[in-house]
Every structure is written in structure tokens, then in C-alpha cells.
Amino acid sequence: MKAARIFVVLMFMFMMMTACNAAPAAAEPNSPGSVTEVSGSDSATTSPDAAAGTPEICSTDAHGCAVFKPGDVVKIGMGAPMTGGDASYGFDISQGGTIAVQDSGEFEGFKFVLVVEDDGGTAEGGAAVANKFASDPALVAVAGHIYSGATSAAIPIYEKAGIVMLSPSASLPTLTTLGSAVFNRIVFTDARQGPPAAEYLFNKLNVRKLAVLHDGSDYGKGLAETVAAKFTELGGEVVITEAITKGETDYTPVLSAVAAKNPESVYFGGYTAEGAVIVNQMKQTGLENAIFFGDDGTYGADFLSRTGANGEGAFATIAPIPADSPEKAAFDAAYLEQFGKEAGTLSPYTWNGYDSVSALIAAVKSVAVVGNDGNLYVPRGALISAVRNLTDFHGISGTYTCDAVGECNTLPPTFVMVKDGAWVPAP
């Protein structure tokens, strides 16, 4: 009886999985030097004709070529949380990416498309999505993932498959220190903005007693730690370090405890949602006179609308951007037109999403070749080094030059502050 049931169950599973498997079954691409064919139908084996038109580079490339027949689309992947509590990040960044694809146009008649898969921001989801992307021969690059946990689990899988990554927002420091060849990021990391922020607080604002808050995420915590370390080194006193619980709306208890230490300034490592609540509640808890100092995660139009008058005099560090470039204005208009919302109301990383996808497409265009047979060949190994060697790429939220380990946003930050309801460069 039991055996019969187990048997039935296994058969059922087998059938379901093979059924679902039908499309990507022919996958397992990219053994070194091989050529994998892309096509909507099932004829995924390499035909002799295709081999005849193969450019030289594909046989020498470390990860082989992705091949596209005329009419196929070149896929850029993005693993992002589209469900669960952090879905706004996934939605926003992928929407930014969508506009980048539209702006990038075609390459020799081949269209690009952004494939967004939900990884829930977790390692389990990240690895699942990475495996799915790795078995899609038409996918050449990944703009992601969004969260560091998902990215950590995904990197080894892309490494094996030879798929290049350019994350718009994964800020965990160790992601670039572990020696991955495929991982790069354009997010503005802790190491870049933390120490300058501490110096600014100490030297320019003459703060001697600093309270450091963070939201308990890897991003906010890392930032808070670097700021606290540098500030102490400069001779200031960090009077209290507290973490808040992300996603809540009442931080008055924490802020009351902070207020009891009489700090001159509050540094907050985290995002707009919590940062705005903190700024608002600082006025209720005896921190009326302390300066709020945020990061690039708290910067943005949304911060202004949430804090109103309470936000006056708040500081933030941001990546150096051309103040309001026409490209950025065009993007904001396009975003509003397509999605019915102001850019930046869902997350602070819309523009990073745009930049990361457009930088990837530019890199693909720079290495792709059209063979004699009219097929498009994208050498994956060359693409990996093209992204790593990205130099002076002008995006809408910064100018990117990748260094040897894949940090692409390496310029020192600019300081901004809220004055009369707008972000202006700080003195």
C-alpha cells in the first residue's frame, strides 16, 4: 500500500517536472569553447551551418558564445524581490531597467529584453533564479541581484555558467572581496561614503557627540559601523549606537533613549522609509536640535514629501551626479509616463537600475559580433572582461569606472542637505 502510494507520488512528480522541463531541457550551456544555439523551437543542437559562420572569437573564448538567430531577442536577467515585504525595491529597480532597455534600442536588428524573476530577496530564491537564468542560453548578463543575500547565493552559479553580473544595489562588502570574476556593482558602498561622512560631521559641522543608528540591514549596519569607527578615530565621541527594526513606524522608544544621551547629531544608515519616520519623530522625542545625517539610501524626493518641514536641515551623502542632467529629467518623465508614479517614490535605486541595465547592454553591444551567417554571437568571456573594464560610463546617477575587483562606483561622495524643501549641495 505504502509502496504503491510512494510510487504514484514519484511518478506524478516526475511527470510534472518533465512537463515543465520541456522548454529549458536543452540547456546546460557554456562548456568552454562550445557554441549554444538559441531558438524558440526545439532545434537547439548546433547545426553544421551555424558552426561554419561562427566567428573566431567563440572558439577561443573561455565561456563560449551565445548565439542568436535573426529575430531572436537578447535577454538581460534581473533577480529581484517582486513579492514579500521588500517588493517595492524589485518593482522599482526593474521598472528603471525596463526603461533602460527601451532607451538602448537594437543592435544590428537584435532586440534586447529584460527578464525579471522573483527571488524574494533570499538566498534560496536567489539560487533558484540564478539556476534558471544559467540554464537559459539566450541570457547573457544579469543586472542584479538586488539584495545581498540573494546575490551571495547566486554568484557561484553565475561563475560556473560564465554570466556577468552588475548589481544596482547589493552593497555587502565581502561580495567583491571574495575574488569573483563575474560580479560587479554600481551601488555606492559603505567604504566610499562612510568615512567622508564622518569627516564632514567632525570638521564641517563641528559635531563632537554623535549618535549612530542603523536599520539592522547589511547595508545600513555596515555604513553605521564605518562612520562610527572613523568618527572615533577623528577624536569625536559616539555616545550611543542603536539598531532599529526595519519596517516599523514607531521609533519613539529608541529615539527617546538616544535623546537621553544629548547627541549633537544623529547619523542614520538605512533607507528612506525608516529615515523619514526617524526625522519626523526626532521632533517629538527631545532631539529637536540634533542634525539628521543620512546616506544615499535616505536621499531622494520621497524623503522630502514624507518629512515636510521636519526634514529641513537634514544632510545626506550621495554618489557624485551631474546635478540635474537632461538624461535624468528625460528618465524621470518617462518613468512617470509609463508607471504613473514619480521616480524614486518606491525605492532610492530606480536610477541605479537604469544605469546597471544600460551599462550591461552597452557592454554587450561592444563585444557582440554578427557572423557571416547573419547570426549574432555574444562571447561570454569577453563580456565578463568588458564589464570589469567599464571606464567612464556616464549614467544618470553617476559616472562609473570599475576597478579590479568589480567596484564601479569609486568616486568620493558629494554632500547634500535639505533647504527650503529641496535637496541642495551642502556648503
Partner 1 sequence: MKKTYFQPIQIGFIFGAVNVFLVLIGFNAMVASLLAKALGEQVLTALPPFPYLAAFTILLGLWCGIAAARKSSRARIAGNVLAGWLSGLAAGSVTFVFCVGIGWLLSNKIDIRNYLTVLSFDFINGVLMGLPPLVGALANLGILAAAGAVGGLLYGFIQSSKVKQINQPILALTCSTTEKLKRLDHGRRRLAFQILGVAIAGAVVIFLPLNWGSYWNYVAGTVGLYVILGLGLNLIVGLSGQLVLGYIAFFAIGAYTMALLNSPLPYNLMWGFWPALVLGVIFAALAGLLLGLPLMRLRGDYLAIVTLGFGEIIRILLKSDVLTDFSGGPRGIQNISGPTLFGRPFNSDIDFMYLIAISVALAAFVYNRLQHSRPGRAWLSIREDETAARACGVNTTRYKLLALALGAAFAGLAGAIYASRNQFTGPEEHSLMASINVLSLIIVGGLGNIPGTILGAFALKGLPEILREFSNYRLLTFGALLVVMMLSRPEGLIPSKRPKYKTPQEADGRNAEEKNVS
Partner 2 sequence: MNETLPISIARKGANVLKYLRPVFGAVILIFIIYRLIQTLLIQEIFGPETWTRLVIAGMIIGSVYALIAIGYTLVYGILFMINFAHGEVMMLGAYTCFFVFEALKNIKVGADHSLAFSNAYPVISIIIAFILGMSVSALTGFLLEKVAYRPLRQAPRLVPLISAIGASIFLQNAAQLLFSPQLRDVANPQILARGSGWKFLINGSSVTIPYTGVFTFLLSLILLVSLYLIVQKTKFGRAMRAVALDKKTASLMGIDVDKTISLTFLISGALAGAAGVMWGLHNSMVYYFTGFVPGIKAFTAAVLGGIGNLPGAMLGGLFLGIIESVGPAALGIDFQLKDVIAFLLLIVVLTFRPSGLLGEVLAKEKV
Residue ranges binding partner 1 (CB under 8 A):
1-14, 16-18, 20-21, 24-25, 27-28, 40, 73, 82-84, 111, 113, 116-118, 121-124, 127-128, 131-132, 134-135, 148-149, 152-153, 156-157, 172, 174-175, 178, 216-218, 221-222, 241, 243, 338-341
Q: Is 148 or 265 the residue whose CB approaches partner 1 more closely?
A: 148
- Region of 265 on the Ramachandran plot (φ > 0 left; ψ -120 to 50 alpha; else beta): beta
217 touching partner 2, by CB under 8 A: no
Q: What is the DSSP string of 41-108?
A: SS--SPPHHHHHT--HHHHHSTT-EEEE-TT-EEEEEEEE--SSTTHHHHHHHHHHHHHHHHHH--BT
Q: Is 140 or 386 the residue whose CB approaches partner 1 more closely?
A: 140
285 touching partner 2, by CB under 8 A: yes
SS3 173: coil
**Cβ-proximal residues to 172 (8 Å cutoff; 6+ apart), any chain:** 148, 151, 152, 218, 219, 222
Among partner 1, partner 2, none, what does residue 252 contact (CB within 5–8 Å per kind)? partner 2
Measured between alpha carbons, how far is 328 from 422 in angstroms, rounded to an integer? 17
146, 222, 385 from 361: Cα distances, Å: 18, 31, 14
Q: Is 111 or 209 the residue whose CB approaches partner 1 more closely?
A: 111
**Grid cell in block for residue 363:** 557592454
User: What is the C-alpha R_g of the chain?
Assistant: 24
CB of 283 to partner 2, least distance (A): 6
Q: Is 339 or 377 the residue whose CB approaches partner 2 more closely?
A: 339
CB of 73 to partner 1, least distance (A): 7
CB of 332 to partner 2, least distance (A): 16
The alpha carbon torsion through 298, 301, 307, 308 (nearest 10 deg) reads 150
The single residue among 87, 191, 321, 370 that binds partner 2, judged by CB under 8 A, is 87
Question: 312: buried, middle or exposed (CB in 10 Å: 19+, 13-18, 0-12)?
Answer: middle
CB of 323 to partner 1, least distance (A): 27
The residues facing 265 across adjacent strands are 210, 291
253 touching partner 2, by CB under 8 A: yes
Q: Is 11 or 257 the residue whose CB approaches partner 2 more closely?
A: 257
209 touching partner 2, by CB under 8 A: no
**Grid cell in block for residue 16:** 510534472
Among partner 2, partner 1, none, what does residue 65 contact (CB within 5–8 Å per kind)? none
Residues 133-192 that bind partner 2 (CB under 8 A): none
How many helices (H) and strands (E) the chain has is answered by 15, 18
CB of 277 to partner 2, least distance (A): 7
Number of shown-chain residues binding partner 2 (CB under 8 A): 37
Q: List the one residue out of 216, 207, 219, 274 whose CA is nearest residue 241.
A: 216
Among partner 2, partner 1, none, what does residue 286 contact (CB within 5–8 Å per kind)? partner 2
Q: Is 72 or 355 the residue whose CB approaches partner 1 more closely?
A: 72
Among partner 2, partner 1, none, what does residue 256 contact (CB within 5–8 Å per kind)? partner 2
Residues 303-332 that bind partner 2 (CB under 8 A): 305-306, 310
Let me know: does 81 contact 91? Beta carbons within 8 Å.
no
CB of 103 to partner 2, least distance (A): 23
Q: Is 226 or 310 the residue whose CB approaches partner 1 more closely?
A: 226
SS3 292: strand
Measured between alpha carbons, how far is 160 from 35 in angstroms, rounded to an integer? 16
42 touching partner 2, by CB under 8 A: no
Tally of CB atoms within 10 A around 115: 18
**Cβ-proximal residues to 88 (8 Å cutoff; 6+ apart), any chain:** 346, 347
- Binding-site ranges for partner 2 (CB under 8 A): 83-85, 87-88, 91, 216, 242-245, 247-250, 252-254, 256-257, 259-260, 273, 277, 280-281, 283-286, 288, 305-306, 310, 341, 345-346
